[in-house]
Amino acid sequence: MFNDDTESNVSWIGFSDLFFHLFIFFFIAFIVVKISATESVINNNLYTAQLEQEYNQEIAYLNSQIKILEAKLASCIEKTAICEFSTQEMSDDKTELQLQVKILETKLKSCKLDLQECQISLNAYEEDNKKLKYKLKNYKNLVKYEGFGPDTSKVEMSKDELFKQIASNYNFIATDSEHCIPILQDDSICVEDTTLQEQKISFGSSVLFTSGKAKLKVRGRDILTTVGNVIKTKLPAIQEIQIQGHADITAPKQYDIDSQQSQEYNLKIASERALEVFLFLKEQLEINPAKILMSATSFGSYKPVSRTAEDNYTWERIRLENDDKDKKQLNRRIEIVLTYRR
């Protein structure tokens, strides 16, 4: 009886130990699993945090790139607008230039037509001039050979002799077609018949005077002495001597070419030069104005060499007659106009 109880207690203790060990085993297993799960969660959280950080960095980088691209896009849009505006302006300018070209082409055609008309008028004028010269020649022949009209044969002879005498002093062979005697490299003395009764002796700009001066230079005095002595030999045939001073439109720098001061300056210097020649003929060559009517006058810049009494002139045309160096040189002159007795 005792042995059965003892065996029964032993069996129960063995079962209790087994149960206890199993409980410990499962508890430990549970703890291990729990710890593993906790570590996994922690690792997952850390990984998730790392991923979130990397994601945020990527988002920040992409946002910065988007801003850069937006700025570039805005700049591109602005440049495109400027380009379109410039293109429109260029198109407008092109249209304007094309219009101006058409206008200029029209003006050019009109100018060509005017030039053709002018050339026709000039040809007609030259033809009329030839006819007038022919009539004048016939008139002179009638006077000379048939006795019609006033007798100008003595006047013609005096004119011809005066020109030949002046020319001989400078070893120049006088001809009917050439009336200018070379004196200096760029200047000459020209003797020309202006009317049946008048003869003009024209001195180039640098023959008698230095540029801008009104005092006869030494060579100018010598030339004027030579010509004056020839005139003296013809005084019995001469009725009047008129000394004319002429200038171009050039003036000192302080005056505008179109100003009244400029025109007065040229009128004055031409007057002073004419008076200088007058006094030289009177005092040095003893040509007496009380006996032979002699005067000095100034035309300033108002009578270019190409101007005639019939021309309708304006200041604009006078400027046109002084638009280059050669024309100005021709306009700067002293003229001695001789009126012969009939």
- What is the average pLDDT across 296-309? 92
* pTM (global) more than 0.75: no
Record the tokens describing residue 229, joined without a space: 């002595």
Does position 290 have pLDDT exceeding 50, yes or no? Answer: yes
Q: How far apart are CA 291 and CA 241, in angstroms?
A: 11
Confidence of residue 299 (pLDDT cuts 50, 70, 90): very high
Does position 301 have pLDDT exceeding 70, yes or no? Answer: yes
SS3 label, residue 304: coil
Q: Give whole-number Cα distances, 28 to 25, 32, 35, in Å.
A: 5, 6, 10
Going by C-alpha positions, the residue among 336, 338, 240, 216 that lies closest to residue 289 is 240
